[in-house]
C-alpha cells in the first residue's frame, strides 16, 4: 500500500489548546521525540506570531533530526500589501524551514466577514502568496481553511480557491474541517469533486468538535488523501485535533498503509505519555490504543474469553503499540479475573480450589462496602496472600493516636502522631510530626518500622485520593482512601475504607508498607 505522509501539528495547533504551552526547550524535545516516532513533518509553530516560535526555528537547526522535515506555519498575505512586503510571509522565509504551510480562506462567508475583502481579491492573495513562497522555499503546503463548510455553502467558490492554490504550484492541498462539524458520511462525495477539480496531492486536517476528527481523517485517506495532519493525544484548539495516536495504528494495522516502522509503532504508548508529561497533563486512561484502560478487561465474561483467545475482546494485539493487556478485579469479576491476577502475582491458585470462589466472594463483599481494587492492586495481592495463608507476619500495629492542633488564629495547624508497633517480640513506640494528620501518621509508622526494615526508607507517597461514599439506608457515609506509593523501581496502589478518614488512610498506609516488604522479599527469592 502507498505511503501516507504524517504531518504533526502538536507544536502549533496543539498549543492552541487551553492549558497547553511549551517552552522552546520543550518544543525541541517534543520535535526529537516525533522524529524518533517516524513523523514525516513537524510543524514547529508560527514564526510571525511570537519570538518563542522564531527561536524554535533557530534552535531546531542545531538538532540532527533523522528524517522529519520541519514546517513553519502562517497565513496568506494581508490584503492591501504584496507578498514580498507582508511581514508574516517574510518571517516564514527567514525562519528557513524545510516546508512552509499557510492557510487561506475557502469559505465565501469568511472572506466577506473575517477578511472583509472581495471573493476575487481572496483568490489573488491565495495565488500570489503561494507562488511567492514557492519561489523561496523548497516545499509549500496549502491548508484550505474551512474547506468542508466552504464547499457546502458555495461549492464553486471553494473549488476556485483550490485551483488558485494549484496554479501557484503548491506541493499539497490540505482540506481542513476547521470548525470540526463535518461528519464522515459527507467526506466521500466532496472529495470526489475535489479530485475531479485538482490533481495536486490532497491532505486532511480535522478538528474534533463533533468527535469525528479521527473518523474524518481515515475516511479522507480512504477517499485518496495521502497526507494526514493531526496532533499527539489529539491536543488542539477547542475540542482538539485529529489524534495521531489513533490515526497511525489505524493506517498501519487496519489500512495496511506505510507510515512508520513496526518498531516505531511499538513506542507509540510511551511517546503519548511523554507528551502528556511535558504538557503537564494527566494521561487520559481511556484513550484508544495507548491509554491504560485501552486493553483493560473488567467483566468476568471478557476475562474468561481473552484467556482462551485475546482476540475475542481485543481489536489489535496491544504489544503492537507498546501497550499491555490488563485484568481488573471488581464486583463484576468472575473466577477468571482472580486466576489471571494470581498468575500475574506468581501465586499458585487452581480454578477448582474453593479458595478461588472464597476470594471472589470476599472481593464482592468488600466492593459492596466501598473498597475498590482497580487502582489498588497491591491491597488485592495482599488480600489474596492472606486468604492463601502465604503472607508472612512482618509487624502488627498495636495502636496509634493523631493530634491536630491550632492554638490561636494566626498559627498554622500542626499535626502529631504516635504509633506503637510490634515486630517479633519487640515493641516500638514512636512519635512524629507532619504537615497534616495523615502525613504525621505516615512519618510515625515508618519511623517505628524503619529500624526493623530499613528498606522502607525508599518508599515515597506519590498520590493520595479521598472519596466520600454516600451513606446507605441506616449507615453513615464512608470514606475511601486510595494511595499510590513507590520506590526506585515500581509504584503500587493501596486502599482503605472507613467512616473515619484517618482510619481509612491508616489502612491504605499499612498496606503500602507491607506490600513493599512482600515485594522485596519476592525479588530476593
Instruction: By CB under 6 A, name the binding residues for ligand PYR.
Output: 13, 103, 143, 145, 176, 178, 205, 207
Kindly state the number of chain residues that form the binding site for ligand ACO, as judged by CB under 6 A: 17
9 binds ligand ACO (CB under 6 A): no
> Toward ligand PYR, which CB reaches closer, 176 or 508?
176
3-state secondary structure of 41: strand
Least Å distance, CB 55 to ligand PYR, is: 22
Element housing 357 (H / E): helix 354-368
119 binds ligand ACO (CB under 6 A): no
Element housing 99 (H / E): strand 99-105
As a whole number of angstroms, the distance between CA 168 and CA 518 comes to 69
Cell numbers at 271, concatenated: 511517546
| Pairing mode of beta strands 478-486, 460-469 | antiparallel
Out of 29, 32, 65, 115, point to the residue binding ligand ACO (CB under 6 A): 115
> Toward ligand PYR, which CB reaches closer, 178 or 336?
178
> Toward ligand PYR, which CB reaches closer, 237 or 442?
237
> Toward ligand ACO, which CB reaches closer, 146 or 446?
146
Least Å distance, CB 143 to ligand PYR, is: 4
Out of 22, 41, 57, 103, point to the residue binding ligand ACO (CB under 6 A): 103
Cell numbers at 467, concatenated: 472519596
145 binds ligand ACO (CB under 6 A): yes
Out of 22, 41, 46, 395, point to the residue binding ligand ACO (CB under 6 A): 46
Q: What distance lies between CA 409 and its chain's CA centroid?
A: 44
Q: Which stretch binds ligand ACO (CB under 6 A): 101-109, 195-203, 379-387, 445-453?
A: 101-109
DSSP conformation class of 328: -
As a whole number of angstroms, the distance between CA 473 and CA 467 comes to 19
- Tell me the chain's radius of gyration from C-alpha atoms: 29
> Toward ligand PYR, which CB reaches closer, 241 or 333?
241
Window 218-247: residues binding ligand ACO (CB under 6 A): 237
> Toward ligand PYR, which CB reaches closer, 150 or 249?
150
Residue with cell 494495522: 253
Cell numbers at 244, concatenated: 495521531
Out of 97, 104, 150, 249, point to the residue binding ligand ACO (CB under 6 A): 104
- Phi first, then psi: what are they for 121, rounded to 5°? -60, -35
User: Exposed, middle or buried: residue 124 (CB in 10 Å: 0-12, 13-18, 19+)?
Assistant: middle
> Alpha carbon of 390 to those of 281, 348, 363, 423, 519: distances in Å?
40, 11, 18, 18, 13
> Toward ligand PYR, which CB reaches closer, 153 or 305?
153
Which residue of the chain is nearest ligand ACO when measured via CB? 49
> Toward ligand PYR, which CB reaches closer, 13 or 53?
13
As a whole number of angstroms, the distance between CA 431 and CA 402 comes to 10
> Toward ligand ACO, which CB reaches closer, 3 or 114?
114
Q: Is the dihedral of CA 285, 365, 476, 418 positive or negative?
A: negative
Least Å distance, CB 155 to ligand PYR, is: 18
Cell numbers at 372, concatenated: 475498590
The site partner of 75 among ligand ACO, ligand PYR, none (C-beta below 5 to 8 Å per kind) is ligand ACO
In this structure, are residues 140 and 133 in contact, taking their beta carbons and an 8 Å threshold?
yes
Least Å distance, CB 13 to ligand PYR, is: 5
Using CB under 6 A as the criterion, what x/- string covers residues 175-194 for binding ligand ACO?
A: ---x----------------
Window 74-93: residues binding ligand ACO (CB under 6 A): 75-76, 78
Cell numbers at 519, concatenated: 515485594
Q: Where does this chain bind ligand ACO (CB under 6 A)? A: 13, 16, 46, 48-50, 75-76, 78, 103-105, 114-115, 145, 178, 237
Amino acid at each position: 500500500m502507498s505511503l501516507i505522509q504524517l504531518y504533526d501539528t502538536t507544536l502549533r495547533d496543539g498549543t492552541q489548546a487551553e492549558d497547553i504551552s511549551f517552552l522552546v526547550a520543550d518544543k525541541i524535545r517534543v520535535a526529537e521525540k516525533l522524529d524518533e516516532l517516524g513523523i514525516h513533518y513537524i510543524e514547529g509553530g508560527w514564526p510571525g506570531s511570537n519570538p518563542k516560535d522564531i527561536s524554535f526555528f533557530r534552535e531546531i537547526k542545531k538538532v540532527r533530526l533523522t528524517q522529519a522535515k520541519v514546517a513553519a506555519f502562517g497565513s496568506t498575505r494581508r490584503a492591501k500589501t504584496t507578498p514580498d512586503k507582508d511581514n508574516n510571509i517574510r518571517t516564514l522565509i527567514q525562519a528557513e524551514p524545510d516546508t512552509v504551510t499557510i492557510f487561506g480562506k475557502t469559505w465565501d462567508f469568511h472572506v466577506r466577514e473575517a477578511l472583509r475583502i472581495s471573493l476575487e481579491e481572496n483568490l489573488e492573495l491565495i495565488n500570489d502568496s503561494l507562488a511567492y513562497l514557492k519561489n523561496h522555499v523548497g516545499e509549500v503546503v496549502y491548508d484550505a481553511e474551512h474547506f468542508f463548510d466552504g464547499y457546502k455553502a458555495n461549492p464553486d467558490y471553494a473549488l476556485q480557491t483550490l485551483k488558485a492554490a494549484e496554479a501557484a504550484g503548491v506541493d499539497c492541498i490540505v482540506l481542513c474541517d476547521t470548525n470540526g462539524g463535518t461528519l464522515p458520511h459527507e467526506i466521500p462525495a466532496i472529495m470526489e469533486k475535489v479530485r475531479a477539480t485538482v490533481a495536486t496531492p490532497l491532505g486532511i486536517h480535522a478538528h474534533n468538535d463533533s468527535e469525528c476528527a479521527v473518523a474524518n481523517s481515515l475516511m479522507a485517506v480512504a477517499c485518496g488523501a495521502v497526507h494526514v495532519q493531526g496532533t499527539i493525544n489529539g491536543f488542539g484548539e477547542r475540542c482538539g485535533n485529529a489524534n495521531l495516536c489513533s490515526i497511525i495504528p489505524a493506517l498501519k494495522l487496519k489500512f495496511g498503509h506505510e507510515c512508520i516502522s513496526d518498531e516505531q509503532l511499538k513506542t507509540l504508548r510511551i511517546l503519548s505519555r511523554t507528551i502528556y508529561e511535558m504538557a503537564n497533563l494527566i494521561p487520559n486512561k481511556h484513550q484508544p490504543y495507548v491509554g491504560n484502560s485501552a486493553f483493560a478487561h473488567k467483566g468476568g465474561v471478557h476475562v474468561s474469553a481473552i484467556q482462551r483467545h485475546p482476540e475475542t475482546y481485543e481489536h489489535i494485539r496491544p504489544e503492537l503499540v507498546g501497550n499491555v493487556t490488563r485484568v481488573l478485579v471488581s464486583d463484576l469479576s468472575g473466577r477468571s479475573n482472580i486466576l489471571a491476577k494470581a498468575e500475574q502475582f506468581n501465586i499458585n491458585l487452581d480454578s477448582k480450589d474453593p479458595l478461588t470462589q472464597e476470594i471472589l466472594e470476599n472481593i464482592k463483599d468488600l466492593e459492596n462496602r466501598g473498597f475498590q481494587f482497580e487502582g489498588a492492586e497491591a491491597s488485592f495481592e495482599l488480600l489474596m496472600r492472606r486468604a492463601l495463608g502465604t503472607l508472612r507476619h512482618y509487624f502488627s500495629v498495636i495502636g496509634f493516636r493523631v493530634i491536630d492542633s491550632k492554638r490561636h488564629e494566626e498559627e498554622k495547624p500542626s499535626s502529631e502522631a504516635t504509633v506503637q508497633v510490634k515486630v517479633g517480640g519487640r515493641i516500638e513506640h514512636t512519635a512524629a510530626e507532619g504537615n497534616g494528620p495523615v502525613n504525621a501518621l505516615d512519618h510515625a509508622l515508618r519511623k517505628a518500622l524503619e529500624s526493623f526494615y530499613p528498606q522502607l526508607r525508599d518508599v515515597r507517597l506519590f498520590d493520595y485520593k479521598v472519596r466520600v461514599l454516600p451513606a446507605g439506608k441506616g449507615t453513615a457515609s464512608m470514606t475511601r482512601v486510595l494511595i499510590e506509593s513507590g520506590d526506585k523501581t515500581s509504584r503500587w496502589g493501596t486502599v482503605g475504607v472507613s467512616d473515619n478518614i484517618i482510619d481509612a488512610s491508616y489502612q491504605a498506609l499499612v498496606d503500602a508498607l507491607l506490600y513493599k516488604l512482600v515485594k522485596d522479599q519476592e525479588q530476593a527469592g
